[in-house]
Structure 1
Amino acid sequence: MIAAPDDLTTDPMVASPELVPLRDTLRAGDWVAFRDQLAGHLGDSRTRAIGILSPYAPQGLLESVLEADPADTSAAAMLAVRLTDEAWAVRTGQKARDVSREQFDRFHEMLAGAERVTADSVAHDDSDPAVWTQRLTIARGLEMGQAEAQRRYDQVAARDPHHLPAQVQLLQQLCPKWGGSVEAMHEFARQCAWSAPEGTQQPTLIADAHLEHALSLSGGRQDYLSSRAVVDELREAMRRSILHPSFQRTVGWVYAHHIFALLFGLIGDRKTARPLYEATGNLLSEDPWNYFGDPVTVYREHRARAMRKTRWF
């Protein structure tokens, strides 16, 4: 039973307790044991685990592992995640016009370090989707362009055509704010969502694309999200993902509920949003709420509104 929402937690270990043993092994500095445990997580679950667990891996440990074995792609991917996350923390999530030249210079310098780690890794072993997924994030930050991002994504897709972490990264690259277009963004989201097996998280890409589309508009966001075509597509995406009988609470399941809860809340459909909040209890995925400010504050406001029995307007 998931706890009541009074004491919210953003700790991914609470939502995904299967990662706790891996975290504890990392904290103990036992890389060999950690790598063996990580091998039990397959496909995009492994890539997600690497991303979530990277803050718990001492950077010195990862560097020493790679020095001893440059072909250790798990260590390379995890170090690249750490360096990339630190770089984005320097840049912040502000719009480009609000980021100083000094911040941008440091951001690019740190991303260049992550790029070197991943370039060296694929030179030794180019088969790991986790490394290529991180290379997508790096390419976006270094503004390498759409063609290079697509090339890197193709490396992932050739090994795993339904690798959600990489699909999420390419979808971001295809957003208008990163030099793409709403048409390309929606086309890619639909291609990934409708080709994946039902009961997976891929249809959340449909919701991601509609949110990005709405945010790209200077006005009329409510009208766009409330249109019959958008609402119908969001409902179909839910039916094929979180509402499907085979949907499992694997890493990312809280976000999968929250992206739909946010969108149906923005649409004004509390009846649809309410059970999505109830399903996650006190668990909070910082995305997508951080698009609108402090995630805890924004989430509480949206959840309270969805739980009201009175009319929306």
Structure 2
Amino acid sequence: MSAPLAPPNFDPAAAYPEVAPVRDALAANDWPALRALLEGLDAGARTFLIGVAAEAEAAEPFLRKVVADDPDDALAGTLLGAHLIQAGWRIRSSYRAQYVSREQFAQFHDYLRRAEQVLIDVTARHPADAAAWTQRITNCRGLELGQAEARRRYDRLAQHHPHHLPAQASLLQQFCPKWSGTWERAHGFARECAEAAPPGAPNAVLVVEAHLEQALDGNLGQAQAYLRSPQVSQEIHAAAHRSVRHPDFRHEHGWVWVRSIFAMAFVLMQEYGPAAQQFVAMGPLGDKAMFGYIDGDASKLFQRFRAEAYEKGGVA
């Protein structure tokens, strides 16, 4: 490249125009506006935007009032539950358990138990609510309720939404060894989701994510060797053909994350042409995805990988 590229824009508002109005409505405590923005969306968009809105750190009093005013409101309950879960995870941090203090764990579990109470009520009243079940799958992991309970929650959701990627991605984490799962179960579930989804759907990214999880469990050299092994490489390319390379692939909510996962995998595989294709498709956008697994500064690593892909992948 003739000049260094700008750092990637990780803000979801840059990729999805609905994000800024949702944030503004929540900041203004404007429930009618927030409801108008989030109601009537498909399950994927609604789950995604609820997750973004839940990041607002001062929203709990407002959301509690909305729930108190109308306990049957699925959107209000799901937003409050998602907010409490994210608040709890901020306290816990993303570090492995041995680096989290007892006090952090106590506060973390307190937030998650409160979220569980709210979300149980939502799913009892609205058993087809994909966003609420997705949050309950994530909460199952934090509360350490086990593999069987996590799968039970997912199966309840899948009765109504069989290809709901946010829920599948959350359950995949539960099936990894770091959450008391096994690689066999993680890979099996990822393949199950990829094969069941329609061609062009993004779900095949889970196959790549599972391989990255296993690869990055060791050092960088081991990760590259693992990903470049014939069977793994073949699976990753097959996943790309089912999703990001398929003519029916669409830039719907979450697409930047999907392409970021593929881009990262291809760079680690030293397949710079395919990696560059994903970076080009993202333009100035990006997602932290799993870049933080290698370097605490996800933006810095994303830029390094992108520059390497462009230089060695023939992008002028």
User: Structure 1 length normalisation: TM-score?
Assistant: 0.92
Matched, 1:307 2:310: yes
Distance verdict in 2 for CA 1:124–1:302, change over 3 Å: same
Could you tell me which residue of structure 2 aligns to residue 43 of structure 1? 43
1:117-132 correspondence runs (5 A): 117-132=118-133
Cα distance between partner residues in 2 of 1:41 and 1:20: 16
CA contact (8 A) 2:209 2:261 kept: yes
Q: Deviations over 1:14-49 (max 9, x none)?
A: 111133333333333332332233223112221111
Does 2:275 match 1:238? no
Structure 1, gaps ≥5 residues long: none
Aligned 8 A contact 1:108 1:142 in 2: yes
For these two proteins, the number of residue pairs brought into alignment is 308
Aligned residue identity for 2:42 = L
RMSD: 2.0
Q: 1:227 maps to what in 2?
A: 229
Q: Which segment is superposed worse, 255-264 or 10-19?
A: 10-19
CA distance in 2: counterparts of 1:157 and 1:193, whole angstroms? 14
Answer yes or no: is the 8 Å Cα contact 2:216–2:223 preserved in 1: yes
Change (3 A) 1:266 1:121: same
- Report the residue type matching 2:114 in the other structure: G
Residue of structure 1 equivalent to 2:80: 79
1:39-87 residue CA offsets vs partner (Å, 9 max, x unmatched): 2311222111111122348322211111011111111111111111111
Of 43-52 and 144-153, more deviation after overlay is shown by 43-52
Correspondence 1:12 to 2:12 = yes
- How far, CA to CA, are the matches of 2:105 and 2:150 in structure 1? 20
Q: Are residue 271 (structure 1) and residue 273 (structure 2) matched?
A: yes
Matches within 5 A, 1:97-112: 97-112=98-113
Cα distance in 2 between the residues matched to 1:274 and 1:129: 34
2:29 equivalent to 1:26: no
Give the whole-Å Cα distance in 2 for the aligned partners of 1:206 and 1:310: 24
Given that residues 183 and 214 in structure 2 are in contact (C-alpha distance below 8 angstroms), is that contact kept between their aligned partners in structure 1? Answer: yes
Letter paired with 1:116:
Q
Match in the other structure for 1:135: 136
Output the CA distance in 2 between the equivalents of 1:165 and 1:230.
Answer: 23
